[in-house]
Structure 1
Amino acid sequence: MNKSRFTPIIFLFGVVVLTLVSLFVVVQVYEFRQDFSYLQKLKQEEVDFEVKWGQLLLEQSALTQPSRLEQTAIKDLNMHAPSQNELIIVKP
């Protein structure tokens, strides 16, 4: 008799525990999906930054070529190669 009297209570307890565990699993899956989505976004940003870095390295390489520097010095700074008369040799 005692067994049959406690069976609905045990069943109800089991249903409550199962419901709580199920809700916990749903919350965990939702948080996992949010975190995974955020991770994918960060990985895409990393790829974008790597592409931008490569472009900046190419631009730096192009801007620091000796011919480019010489053209800029002549055009913007009005510089020129010194003539023989402008050269001063200093001996130690």
Structure 2
Amino acid sequence: MKNSWAARAVLFAEIAIVLVTSFGLIVNTYHSRQQFALLEQVRSEQRSLEDRWAKLLLEESAFSSPSRVERIARSELKMYLPSLDDIKDIKELNGKR
């Protein structure tokens, strides 16, 4: 009878270990899939941000082109290239003091 009880205890212990291990495996697989889905979402966001960055760089180069800057300076800011009469030599100005 003692051997029968010991055999049952070992059997129940083995079943418990198998169940706990199986449950741990299921939980681990679930977390792994969650992390993989999150990784894919972050990678997708990264690709989207890289595309946006490329567009912004292109836009920046278009807005900062010398011809555009000059056109806006002339039309909106009423700027012009100074004539030779408007240009003063700093050395001359310092000498007149």
TM-score scaled by length of structure 2: 0.83
Q: Distance in 1 between matches of 2:22 and 2:84?
A: 90
Aligned partner of residue 90 in structure 2, secondary structure: coil
Aligned alpha-carbon RMSD (Å): 1.6
Name 1:54's counterpart in structure 2. Answer: 54
Per-residue deviation, 1:52: 1.0
Which deviates more, 7-16 or 23-32? 7-16
Secondary structure of the residue aligned to 1:80 is coil
**Letter paired with 1:57:** L
Q: Could you say which residue in structure 2 is the equivalent of 1:26?
A: 26
Q: CA deviation at 1:46?
A: 1.1
Aligned to 1:88, the other structure's residue is in SS state: coil
Count of residues paired in the alignment: 92
TM-score calculated relative to the size of structure 1: 0.87
Q: Which residue of 1 aligns with 2:80?
A: 80
Q: Which runs of 5+ in 2 are unaligned?
A: 93-97
Unmatched segments (≥5 aa) in structure 1: none
Moved over 2 A (4+): 1-5, 83-92
Distance 1:78 1:61 in 2: 23
Could you give the per-residue CA deviations for residues 40-74 of structure 1, whole angstroms, max 9, x where no partner exists? 11111111111111111111111111101001101
1: CA distance, partners of 2:7 / 2:84: 111
